[in-house]
């Protein structure tokens, strides 16, 4: 057993302290939002909530959960996230597998070609015109198709395939008469649980948190996702408080302020809860994902 020197212990202690402080900085906003959503009226008016809830009130949770607009937007977000994640995995894993094949003749030209969009983009207006020309405006496809291919995720998949899937397995499957499609589905994907989990989380978080794309391409309010609904509620709440502050009765204004503030934090908690629930089940794959390509052999 190796005995740690004094310098190693000091460095380890400093690292633990820094990581603890960083984790506390990341956790505090989440804890604060949960505390504000559960605190009583007096605590919100006096702004006395610092960490833990003061008082207890779940009326805002009941109002949000029983709101049909919330249900509609929540279901929309689930559908968009599930469909977008599936398309993203299908596109990026397929592209990564093609780039990882040594026998693919156009591997280098294709790599150079797909790297160009990482540095140059067409911009919002050409993209908007393209979406309308493809008849995807005000449809679910406008949210999931344009961002399905991520060059970074495809390169990450290629690196995983190169470093994890032995080329001998692919060659033996080819000798046995398997097609590329069969090799990809029956051999490569079953051995790629790690990269699938990582890319799925990347895609799901990006689609779940995205509101700008829906703001640009969705005109029908019945199709709006949860994040866009949250943005509209926060905007309406802020504008209402400012416009009615001078003409409302002070007591009514305080009640309106308390309700709008608590609902704001309730929506933040509810909108982030699904990702927070899913993340612990995928977190174990991130250690392997960070080490992709670090070991050569």
Tokens at residue 177, please?
A: 């008469």
Mean pLDDT of 87-94: 93
Within this chain, do residues 157 and 263 fall inside the same structural domain, yes or no? yes
**77/252: higher pLDDT:** 77
- Look-up: residue for tokens 């833990």? 52
Within this chain, do residues 32 and 95 fall inside the same structural domain, yes or no? no
| pLDDT confidence band for 246 (50 / 70 / 90) | low
In a domain, 53, yes or no: no
The model's pTM is: 0.80
In a domain, 52, yes or no: no
- Look-up: residue for tokens 């496809």? 141
In a domain, 296, yes or no: no
Mean pLDDT of 265-288: 77
In a domain, 285, yes or no: yes
In a domain, 297, yes or no: no
- Smallest Cα–Cα separation from 161: which of 185, 197, 191? 191
Residue 208 has pLDDT above 50, yes or no: yes
Within this chain, do residues 153 and 265 fall inside the same structural domain, yes or no? yes
Mean pLDDT of 61-66: 80
Mean pLDDT of 264-282: 81
Within this chain, do residues 93 and 213 fall inside the same structural domain, yes or no? yes
Within this chain, do residues 27 and 70 fall inside the same structural domain, yes or no? no
C-alpha distances in Å from residue 55, one per residue of 14, 43, 58, 98, 126: 38, 7, 10, 58, 52
pLDDT of residue 248: 56
Within this chain, do residues 29 and 116 fall inside the same structural domain, yes or no? no
Within this chain, do residues 14 and 84 fall inside the same structural domain, yes or no? no
pLDDT of residue 114: 83
In a domain, 245, yes or no: yes
| C-alpha gyration radius of the chain | 25
129-168 per-position pLDDT tens digit: 999 999 999 999 999 998 888 888 898 899 888 888 888 8
Residue 205 phi, psi (nearest 5): -65, -45
In a domain, 295, yes or no: no
Domain tally for the chain?
Answer: 2
Within this chain, do residues 98 and 237 fall inside the same structural domain, yes or no? yes
Within this chain, do residues 135 and 19 fall inside the same structural domain, yes or no? no
pLDDT of residue 20: 93
**170/80: higher pLDDT:** 80
Tokens at residue 241, please?
A: 């408080």
Task: Enumerate the H helices of the chain as residue ranges.
Answer: 6-38, 41-46, 59-65, 68-100, 107-115, 124-133, 141-144, 151-164, 167-175, 180-183, 193-209, 212-217, 226-244, 250-282, 284-290
DSSP state of 106: T
Domain residues for the domain of 38 are: 6-46
| pLDDT confidence band for 292 (50 / 70 / 90) | low
In a domain, 92, yes or no: yes
Within this chain, do residues 110 and 219 fall inside the same structural domain, yes or no? yes
- Answer whether 149's CB lies under 8 Å from 92's CB: yes
Within this chain, do residues 40 and 64 fall inside the same structural domain, yes or no? no
**200/233: higher pLDDT:** 200
Residue 170 has pLDDT above 70, yes or no: yes
The CATH number of the domain where 166 resides is what?
1.10.3720.10
Within this chain, do residues 85 and 25 fall inside the same structural domain, yes or no? no
174-191 per-position pLDDT tens digit: 888 888 888 888 888 888
């Amino acid at each position: 057993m190796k005995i740690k020197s004094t310098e190693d212990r000091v460095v380890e202690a400093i690292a633990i302290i820094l990581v603890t402080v960083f984790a506390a900085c990341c956790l505090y906003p989440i804890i604060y939002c949960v505390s504000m959503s559960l605190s009583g009226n007096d605590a919100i008016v006096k702004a006395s909530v610092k960490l833990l809830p003061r008082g207890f009130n779940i009326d805002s949770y009941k109002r949000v959960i029983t709101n049909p607009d919330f249900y509609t937007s929540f279901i929309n977000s689930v559908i968009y996230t599930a469909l977008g994640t599936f398309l993203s995995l299908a596109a990026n894993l397929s592209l990564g597998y093609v780039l990882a094949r040594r026998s693919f003749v156009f591997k280098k030209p294709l790599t150079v070609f797909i790297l160009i969009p990482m540095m140059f983009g067409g911009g919002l207006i050409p993209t908007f015109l393209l979406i309308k020309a493809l008849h995807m405006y005000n449809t679910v496809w406008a949210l999931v198709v344009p961002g399905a291919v991520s060059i970074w995720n495809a390169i990450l998949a290629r690196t995983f395939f190169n470093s994890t899937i032995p080329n001998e397995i692919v060659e033996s499957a080819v000798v046995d008469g398997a097609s590329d499609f069969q090799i990809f589905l029956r051999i490569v994907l079953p051995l790629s649980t790690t990269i699938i989990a990582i890319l799925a989380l990347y895609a799901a978080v990006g689609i779940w948190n995205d509101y700008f794309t829906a703001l640009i391409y969705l005109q029908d309010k019945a199709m709006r996702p949860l994040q866009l609904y949250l943005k509209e509620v926060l905007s309406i709440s802020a504008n209402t408080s400012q416009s009615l502050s001078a003409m409302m009765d002070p007591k009514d204004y305080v009640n309106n302020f308390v309700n709008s503030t608590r609902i704001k934090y309730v929506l933040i908690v509810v909108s982030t809860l699904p990702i927070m629930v899913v993340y612990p089940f995928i977190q174990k794959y991130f250690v392997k994902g960070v080490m992709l390509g670090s070991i050569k052999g």
